[in-house]
Amino acid sequence: MTNSSIDLKPNEHLSSCDNRDVISFDSRDPIYISKLFALVRSAFEGHIIYYISNSITQKLANKCDAKLWFEDGEKCEILKATSSGWKTGKMKLKINISLEFISDQPEQDKSPLDDVRQEFNQSNS
């Protein structure tokens, strides 16, 4: 499978990480964030896509090659009730996955008045 079949989106905490950043899960050795992303992609591309492909192929009585859906796409035609004829193209399946880090410490929103308060406190001291 190609990496284009899996769209792994990190949340704001993870998207600010780079290849040198690491993550540690309870009492396990730390791993690079990039390695975690590779492991998640690999799991989906290896097993889950295989099961989805087999299920689609079985349900459609082997009339399609669902494995192609995750790669280049399988050639097909679509006929819309409002159109004047068949439209040719490809059916492609893409999985969107969100990987999130939720901090235990909520980030403090800085108020625009914080600087004014600080100046006021300094001038009154």
Residue 33: what residue type?
A: I
Q: Model confidence over 44-71: pLDDT tens digits? A: 777 777 788 788 878 877 677 767 777 8
pLDDT score at 103: 84
For the record, the structure tokens of 89 come out as: 């193209």
Report how far residue 33's alpha carbon sits from residue 22's, in angstroms, rounded to the nearest whole number: 5
Pairing of strands 95-99, 6-10: parallel
> Which own/partner contact pairs does 48-55 have at CB distance under 8 Å and 24+ positions apart?
48/95, 49/1, 49/5, 49/95, 52/93
pLDDT score at 12: 83
Residues 102, 14: contact at Cβ < 8 Å? no
The angle formed by the CA atoms of residues 2, 94 and 24, to the nearest 5 degrees, is 75
Residue 38 has pLDDT above 60, yes or no: yes
Q: Is 120 helix (H, G, I), strand (E, B) or coil?
A: helix
Residue 88 binned pLDDT confidence (cut-offs 50, 70, 90): very high
pLDDT score at 2: 45
Residue 110 binned pLDDT confidence (cut-offs 50, 70, 90): low
> Percentage of the chain surpassing pLDDT 70?
87
